[in-house]
Amino acid sequence: MSKRFTATDKWRDRWFRTLPPEYKLFWIYILDECNHAGIWEVDIELANFIMGLDIDQETAINHFKDRIQIFKKGQKWFIPKFITFQYGVLNPENRAHLSAIGLLKGEGLYKGLISSLNGAKDKDKDKEQDKAKDKDKEKIIGKFFELLWRRYPKKLGKKEALNHFKASVKNDEDCHNIEKAIDKYLNHIDKKGVEYQFIMNGSTWFNNWEDWIDYEEVEDIPRSMRGPMEFIREREDKLNG
């Protein structure tokens, strides 16, 4: 009597859990009746006789969908996940795997299976590399923000400032522009003698830093040459911070 691994968590698998009861039993039957390469010679009549059910082949195919590979004009079904579950990665140097590899080669399934497995591995590697790149990028962005934050005079709302920064600084051009913007704002504070209480909170400035990219400082008009409108604008500027 041959023995095989069984997935005890299949009862929590949404796909398996939502199968009609008779097709749950049929799926388990196929996993027990297929050969050790995961290939089942289709015999619905025998399956129904043994299980005492009335399984419809087309309905079964619809339920099992991409979990089976139909070949030999429908005479055989192959279960690709059977291989990975029972053996892991097939190794030609492993004597226990050789028989399964021979059966798969005989049916022309081995090359496609290996390509599929390698493709899945490559995708996993790509995902890991992407994650690593994202982490590196996040570190760089974090360090750049810290450098800007050190320069900013009113350090209120750092968490919100960082969130605004991450949302608006996406590439090298943005990095260049925000440096340009902070230079202009610091120059504005210094040149106008803006008092601390009127300097924008860090969270506010980092939410609106793009307004300062093209900001041009307006030269003060000597008091002796100021008219009423200049005086009003000056007072509004101070009130608005």
Predicted pLDDT at 205: 95
Q: Is 90 exceeded by the pLDDT of residue 29? A: yes
Q: Is 90 exceeded by the pLDDT of residue 62? A: yes
φ, ψ (nearest 5 deg) of residue 69: -120, 115
Q: Is 90 exceeded by the pLDDT of residue 209? A: yes
Mean pLDDT of 93-102: 83
Mean pLDDT of 176-193: 91
The band of 89, judged by pLDDT with boundaries at 50, 70 and 90, is confident
The band of 48, judged by pLDDT with boundaries at 50, 70 and 90, is very high
81 sits in which H/E element: helix 80-87
Predicted pLDDT at 138: 80
Which residues partner with 39 through β-bridges? 78
φ, ψ (nearest 5 deg) of residue 6: -130, 145
Predicted pLDDT at 155: 94
Which pair of structure tokens corresponds to residue 198? 């009127």
Pairing of β 69-71 and β 39-41? unpaired
Where would I find the beta strands (DSSP E) of the chain?
39-41, 69-71, 76-78
In Å, how far are 104, 124, 146, 164, 207 from 167, measured between CA atoms? 51, 28, 16, 5, 9
φ, ψ (nearest 5 deg) of residue 76: -135, 145
* CA dist., res. 42 & res. 35, Å (int): 12
* CA dist., res. 137 & res. 108, Å (int): 45
- Residues composing the chain: 241
Exposed / middle / buried, residue 163 (Cβ in 10 Å: 0-12, 13-18, 19+): middle
**If we measure between CA atoms, which residue out of 73, 33, 39, 38 comes closest to residue 55?**
33
Predicted pLDDT at 125: 59
Predicted pLDDT at 95: 81
Q: Is 90 exceeded by the pLDDT of residue 213? A: yes
Q: Are 229 and 237 in contact (CB under 8 A)?
A: no
**If we measure between CA atoms, which residue out of 107, 116, 91 comes closest to residue 37?**
107
pLDDT in tens, 124-152: 555 666 666 667 778 888 888 999 999 99
Predicted pLDDT at 57: 95
Mean pLDDT of 30-37: 92
Predicted pLDDT at 224: 46
Q: Which residue has the tokens 């991409």?
A: 66
* CA dist., res. 63 & res. 99, Å (int): 30
Could you give the domains of the chain? 8-108 (1.10.10), 152-240 (no CATH)
Mean pLDDT of 72-79: 93
Above pLDDT 90, what percent of the chain? Answer: 51
Q: Is 70 exceeded by the pLDDT of residue 120? A: no
Q: Is 50 exceeded by the pLDDT of residue 52? A: yes
Predicted pLDDT at 225: 46
Which pair of structure tokens corresponds to residue 39? 């290939």
Q: What value does the mean pLDDT of the chain take?
A: 83
* CA dist., res. 138 & res. 140, Å (int): 5
End-to-end Cα, the chain, rounded Å: 86
Predicted pLDDT at 208: 94
φ, ψ (nearest 5 deg) of residue 191: -70, -35
User: What's this model's pTM, rounded to 2 decimal places?
Assistant: 0.48
